């Protein structure tokens, strides 16, 4: 078989263990950091304070102001805070919102990031940044925003609410599904993505039945790590484009939106990519990956209707117009008919055709 591909491995250190959060001081010391700005959402300020306590006087500032989709004004305030305190590094505690805000700081200042993820968002493994302004979410790639060190501690995910556990996990699974048919997917990335799907799909039902199961939490976080690595090595496609538009324009919740949209995008794309279809069939143990993921998420309690998540019916045209104006690389032709099929199904929450 002829092989022609490029695979780029990005620098970064991963520490994965129950209790890995207790190694934060040692890991920042390893990087030579002396003045750290600690980033979190307001809701996780207390946790961030607890985790940063061993850093003692190396904490230059605590900034618990991260917000979903990284609003531009929030990003600007965080950059200003980092500069005025003379920070030489960021500690990000939380999911995509906190890590996204740390990336906004890193993009402007070059400060290294040490991330402690508490969800399965996967942002900590990618050089992708995003900022929202005036109803639009802009994303890009910059190696400066890739965290220098990630501390994966499954115990930090135990308090993740059951509903968010499921949607955050499916959000991670979306990264791997799209990586499998990305134009720059290498054989190594395909292996990582398929293993991620297997780990996540196997862990989520166990977490529904036993939310504090340590082995299931570890498996889900392992799968999320691999999903983020797969996403960071490939080009994003239609699924991520639609979710960025829905989040940036209508402020829909991030993980829930990914969960509702993914099965419908897969139903459109997978017939055009036999290798990705075969990989997902094997990883999920299902002949119809799109339908299987829809029913898995719904049966585990996820809301599958964008309308219930906050998308107005008259908003579909705005989403379609934006998607057609700046199309992402995608295996199936991105037409108005295909977009309407995807969005109509996700709006109502019905199974993919």
215-237 average pLDDT score:
95
| Strands of the 59-63 sheet, one edge to the other | 13-16, 149-152, 113-117, 89-94, 36-39, 59-63
Q: What are phi and psi of 211, to 5 degrees?
A: -60, -25
How far is 146 from 113, CA to CA, in rounded Å?
Answer: 7
> Which residues are CB-neighbours of 243 under 8 A, at least 6 positions away?
174, 254, 257, 258, 261
Among 4-13, 41-50, 86-95, 233-242, name the one with the lowest average pLDDT: 4-13
The answer to whether residues 146 and 8 touch, using CB atoms and an 8 Å cutoff, is no
73-86 average pLDDT score:
98
The answer to whether residues 162 and 245 touch, using CB atoms and an 8 Å cutoff, is no
- Convert the pLDDT of each residue in 291-331 to its tens digit: 999 999 999 999 999 999 999 989 999 999 999 999 899 99
62-78 average pLDDT score:
96
> Which residues are CB-neighbours of 56 under 8 A, at least 6 positions away?
none
The residue assigned the tokens 């939310």 is 211
DSSP tag of 71: B
The tokens for 178 are: 């799209």
HEC profile of 233-270: CCCCCHHHHHHHHHHHHHCCCHHHHHHHHHHHHHHHHH
- Convert the pLDDT of each residue in 246-277 to its tens digit: 998 999 999 999 999 999 999 999 999 999 99
How far is 332 from 329, CA to CA, in rounded Å?
Answer: 9
The answer to whether residues 39 and 63 touch, using CB atoms and an 8 Å cutoff, is yes
Distance set, CA 195 to CA 178, 199, 280, 288, 347 (Å) = 14, 6, 10, 18, 30
Indicate if the pLDDT at residue 1 is higher than 70. Answer: no
The answer to whether residues 337 and 343 touch, using CB atoms and an 8 Å cutoff, is no
The tokens for 46 are: 């207390």
- The dihedral built from the CA positions of residue 291, 293, 299 and 305, taken in this order, carries a sign that is negative
58-81 average pLDDT score:
97
> How many CA atoms are closer than 13 Å to the CA of 15, on its beta-carbon side?
21
The answer to whether residues 227 and 122 touch, using CB atoms and an 8 Å cutoff, is yes
For the chain, list the domains and their CATH numbers. 13-157 (3.40.50.1970), 162-348 (1.20.1090.10)
Indicate if the pLDDT at residue 222 is higher than 60. Answer: yes
Distance set, CA 145 to CA 105, 124, 227, 317 (Å) = 8, 9, 18, 33
Report pLDDT for 135: 82
The tokens for 217 are: 């939490």
Indicate if the pLDDT at residue 2 is higher than 70. Answer: no
DSSP count for the chain of H helices, then E strands: 14, 8
- Convert the pLDDT of each residue in 151-191 to its tens digit: 999 999 999 999 999 999 999 999 999 999 999 999 999 99
The tokens for 256 are: 């829930």
> Which residues are CB-neighbours of 188 under 8 A, at least 6 positions away?
7
The DSSP element (H or E) to which 296 belongs, if any, is helix 289-299
The tokens for 289 are: 């990956």
Distance set, CA 222 to CA 12, 25, 150 (Å) = 16, 23, 12
How far is 92 from 116, CA to CA, in rounded Å?
Answer: 6
In a 3-state reduction of DSSP, which class is residue 62? strand
Indicate if the pLDDT at residue 212 is higher than 70. Answer: yes
How far is 268 from 338, CA to CA, in rounded Å?
Answer: 7
- Mean per-residue pLDDT over the chain, rounded: 95
How far is 334 from 202, CA to CA, in rounded Å?
Answer: 32
- Convert the pLDDT of each residue in 130-153 to its tens digit: 999 988 888 899 999 999 999 999
């Amino acid at each position: 078989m002829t092989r022609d591909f490029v695979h780029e491995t990005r620098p970064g250190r991963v520490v994965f263990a129950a209790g890995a959060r207790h190694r934060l001081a040692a890991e920042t010391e390893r990087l030579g950091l002396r003045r750290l700005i600690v980033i979190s959402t307001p809701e996780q300020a207390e946790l961030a304070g607890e985790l940063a306590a061993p850093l003692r006087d190396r904490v230059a500032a605590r900034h618990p102001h991260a917000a979903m989709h990284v609003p531009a004004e929030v990003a600007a305030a965080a950059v200003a805070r980092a500069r005025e305190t003379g920070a030489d590094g960021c500690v990000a505690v939380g999911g995509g919102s906190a890590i996204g805000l740390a990336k906004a700081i890193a993009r402007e200042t070059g400060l290294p990031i040490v991330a402690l993820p508490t969800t399965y968002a996967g942002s900590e493994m990618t050089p992708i940044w995003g900022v929202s302004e005036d109803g639009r979410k802009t994303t890009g790639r910059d190696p400066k925003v890739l965290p220098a060190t990630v501390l994966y501690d499954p115990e930090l995910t135990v308090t993740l609410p059951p509903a968010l556990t499921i949607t955050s996990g499916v959000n991670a699974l979306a990264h791997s599904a799209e990586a499998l048919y990305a134009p720059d997917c290498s054989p190594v990335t395909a292996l990582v993505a398929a293993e991620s799907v297997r780990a996540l799909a196997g862990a989520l039902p166990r977490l529904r039945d036993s939310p504090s199961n340590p082995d299931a939490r570890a498996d889900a976080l392992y799968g999320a790590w691999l999903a983020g690595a797969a996403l960071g090595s490939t080009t994003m496609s239609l699924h991520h484009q639609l979710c960025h538009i829905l989040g940036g324009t209508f402020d829909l919740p991030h993980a829930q939106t990914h969960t509702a949209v993914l099965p419908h995008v897969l139903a459109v794309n997978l017939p055009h990519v036999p290798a990705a279809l075969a990989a997902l069939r094997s990883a999920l143990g299902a002949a119809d990956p799109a339908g299987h993921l829809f029913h898995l998420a719904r049966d585990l309690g996820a809301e599958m209707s964008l309308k219930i998540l906050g998308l107005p019916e008259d908003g579909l045209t705005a989403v379609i117009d934006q998607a057609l104006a700046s199309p992402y690389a995608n295996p199936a032709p991105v037409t108005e008919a295909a977009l309407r099929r995807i969005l109509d199904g996700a709006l109502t929450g019905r199974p993919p055709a």
